[in-house]
């Protein structure tokens, strides 16, 4: 059963703590993405990766970090420097970053920081 | 720069009636255009895309969209709405020549289909 998995579904953290969100895909896709979704604001790109060991900042990368050590995995760390981390986080993948390819999304992780 | 506008936050239709969810875009070059659907507390699912060729694109679940270059629009349509079509719909654009790897999404339109 191919797809993208994100864990956990719900995550609660205290302010000042770093937290890592997991994203795994078994679609053999080269490209992976992280988005943040806030109510009424659509999706905003945090980071994306075209190949292993390479990634680029998206539109709202401040306060976040990523790694891409394996093709299948693209974890996102929300650091204490992120001023408003409470949000719904979506991971996605596509065959490549070539513009014509659609993205496949995971089920999301809802992060609440108090 | 590329951008997408979904001018309606909410669209309400009766079951069995046709539905339209509007999307306009702006890119410096030529666009690739996508529609995605999101059910509550779920990820987005791909519906359809325009790459080139026929301006009328057919996708999943009976949805279709028409690319109109002169009006820079890519409206999503379905001839007969179902209650199960109720969801949040996103339009997305990528510039073919620039911004490789980066899609810009609209803010979403909530579609409600009433029995």
Contacts of B34 in chain A (CB under 8 A): 102-103
Comparison of pLDDT for B99 and B13, the residue scoring more: B13
Contact A84, B17 (CB under 8 A): no
- Cβ <8 Å between A103 and B103: yes
Position A99 scores a pLDDT of 67
pLDDT at B39 over 70: yes
pLDDT at B99 over 70: no
Position A29 scores a pLDDT of 93
Contacts of A93 in chain B (CB under 8 A): none
Asked if B42 has any chain A CB less than 8 Å from its own CB, the reply is yes
Q: How many Å apart are CA B27 and CA B98, to the nearest integer?
A: 9
> What confidence tier does B97 reach under pLDDT thresholds 50, 70, 90?
confident
- A7: its two tokens: 């864990």
Torsional class of A69: left (φ above 0), alpha (ψ -120 to 50), beta (otherwise) = alpha
Averaged pLDDT for residues B54-71: 95
Contact B74, B66 (CB under 8 A): yes
- A4: its two tokens: 């993208």
> What confidence tier does B100 reach under pLDDT thresholds 50, 70, 90?
low
Position B83 scores a pLDDT of 96
- Cβ <8 Å between B46 and A42: no
Length of chain A: 114
Name the minimum distance, in Å, from the CA of A104 to any CA of chain B. 7
Position B25 scores a pLDDT of 96
- Cα–Cα distances in angstroms (integers) from residue B82 to residues B9, B71, B85, B112, in the given order: 19, 28, 5, 9
Position B48 scores a pLDDT of 96
Length of chain B: 115
Nearest to A42 among B49, B94, B106 (CB): B106
Tokens 């909530």 locate to B110
Q: How confident is the prediction for chain B on average, in pLDDT? A: 93
Averaged pLDDT for residues B80-96: 94
Position A36 scores a pLDDT of 97
pLDDT at B79 over 80: yes
Name the percent of chain B lying above pLDDT 90: 78
**pLDDT, mean of each 10-residue run, chain A (114 residues):** 86 92 95 92 92 93 97 96 93 84 93 94
């Amino acid at each position: 059963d191919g797809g993208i998995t994100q864990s956990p579904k719900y995550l609660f953290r205290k302010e000042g703590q770093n937290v890592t969100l997991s994203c795994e895909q078994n679609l053999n896709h080269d490209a992976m993405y992280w988005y943040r979704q806030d109510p009424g604001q659509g999706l905003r790109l945090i980071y994306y990766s075209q190949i292993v060991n390479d990634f680029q900042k998206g539109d709202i990368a401040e306060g976040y970090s990523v790694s891409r050590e394996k093709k299948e995995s693209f974890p996102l760390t929300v650091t204490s420097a992120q001023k408003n981390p409470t949000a719904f986080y979506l991971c996605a993948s596509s065959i490549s970053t070539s513009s014509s390819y659609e993205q496949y999304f995971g089920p999301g992780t809802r992060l609440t920081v108090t | 720069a590329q951008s997408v506008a979904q001018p309606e936050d909410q669209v309400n239709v009766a079951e069995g009636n046709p539905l339209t969810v509007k999307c306009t875009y702006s890119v410096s070059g030529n666009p690739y255009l996508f529609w995605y659907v999101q059910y509550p507390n779920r990820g987005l699912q791909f519906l359809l895309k325009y790459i080139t060729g026929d301006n009328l694109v057919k996708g999943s679940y009976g949805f279709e969209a028409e690319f109109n270059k002169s009006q820079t629009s890519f409206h999503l349509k379905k001839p007969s709405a179902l209650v199960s079509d109720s969801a949040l719909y996103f339009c997305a654009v990528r510039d073919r020549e620039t911004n490789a790897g980066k899609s810009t999404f609209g803010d979403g339109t909530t579609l409600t289909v009433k029995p």
